[in-house]
């Protein structure tokens, strides 16, 4: 069914690549007015051009969402352009590949320097707070809205490394639950999608693990990585009116990985 988020003003963070880019494409295709944001402008503009070529509409904003002033600017520019914010899909984060950019950022706790802890928490948890804080002012005033945070199954189970990443994603999950419990009567729903292994640049270094059938089956019962668009469809459902009674949902989209923990 087309038009599942027709005319909904939707901010999508991390829209330059991976799951965020898939959400940007899908929501535009389903009728939303999309505002994509991310650190790098070039991929955002490329994705906007694709969306517009397919009949979508929207704009893009370059921003570092670990900075509250940038997050506030994204919300302010959205409201200035379109008058409101109906949906937030917060997908922006860093993961395994960030260790190439920032050494020791994906280590275990004992070997994670404090500055790397603060760095990853800033990008993966503080940004989720900044964006939710910004849009809530407008959603609560309007008496309606939907927030979908993209966390990770790493926020649901313990991992042998990337402890800061796991902590941040766990924080996003519980922040989502807290918002769901607080704002439901005021018309704002909050839900969370928790991807498992997903074929994005974030985990490009470990995608070769799925080449071995035994290892692939160990990683997930379905024996394959997920696709960004599979995550985007979960976000679309939770953001749409089809999920009007879904609030505080923590949805693993992981091929069954968490089911056998």
What pLDDT score does 201 carry?
Answer: 85
pLDDT in tens, 79-126: 999 999 999 999 999 998 999 999 999 999 999 999 999 999 999 999
The answer to whether the beta carbons of residues 177 and 156 sit under 8 Å apart is: no
- The model's pTM: 0.96
Q: Is 183 a catalytic residue?
A: no
pLDDT in tens, 19-41: 999 999 999 999 999 999 999 99
Using alpha carbons, select from 151, 138, 149 the residue that is nearest to residue 179.
149
Round to whole Å and give the CA distance between 144 and 152: 26
Q: What average pLDDT does this structure show over 156-170?
A: 95
The edge-to-edge listing of strands for the beta sheet with 57-62 is 57-62, 33-38, 9-13, 87-90, 145-150, 188-195, 250-253
Q: What is the second-level CATH architecture of the domain 9-249? A: 3-Layer(aba) Sandwich (3.40)
What pLDDT score does 240 carry?
Answer: 98
Round to whole Å and give the CA distance between 244 and 255: 25
What pLDDT score does 261 carry?
Answer: 79
Beta strands in the chain (DSSP E): 9-13, 33-38, 57-62, 87-90, 145-150, 188-195, 250-253
250 forms bridges with which residues in the sheet?
192
Round to whole Å and give the CA distance between 78 and 211: 43
* From 82, 129, 130, 165, active-site residue: 165
């Amino acid at each position: 069914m087309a038009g599942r988020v027709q005319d909904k003003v939707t901010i999508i963070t991390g829209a330059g690549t991976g799951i965020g880019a898939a959400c940007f494409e899908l929501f535009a295709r389903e009728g939303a007015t999309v505002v994509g944001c991310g650190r790098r402008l070039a991929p955002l503009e490329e994705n906007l051009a694709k969306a517009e070529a397919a009949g979508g509409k929207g704009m893009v904003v370059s921003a570092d969402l670990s900075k509250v002033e940038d997050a506030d600017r994204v919300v302010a520019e959205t409201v200035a352009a379109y008058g409101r914010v109906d949906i937030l899909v917060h997908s922006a984060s860093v993961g395994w590949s960030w260790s190439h950019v920032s050494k020791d950022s994906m280590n275990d706790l004992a070997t994670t320097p404090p500055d790397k802890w603060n760095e990853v928490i800033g990008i993966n948890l503080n940004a989720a707070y900044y964006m939710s804080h910004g849009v809530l002012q407008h959603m609560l005033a309007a008496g309606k809205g939907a927030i979908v945070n993209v966390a990770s199954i790493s926020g649901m189970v313990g991992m042998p490394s990337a402890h800061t990443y796991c902590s941040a994603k766990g924080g996003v999950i519980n922040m989502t639950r807290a918002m769901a419990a607080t704002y439901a009567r005021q018309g704002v729903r909050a839900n969370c999608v928790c991807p498992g292994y997903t074929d994005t640049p974030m985990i490009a270094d470990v995608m070769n693990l799925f080449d071995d059938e035994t290892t692939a089956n160990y990683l997930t019962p379905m024996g394959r990585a997920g696709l960004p668009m599979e995550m985007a469809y979960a976000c679309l459902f939770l953001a749409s009116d089809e999920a009007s009674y879904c609030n505080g949902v923590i949805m693993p989209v992981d091929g069954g990985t968490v089911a056998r923990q």
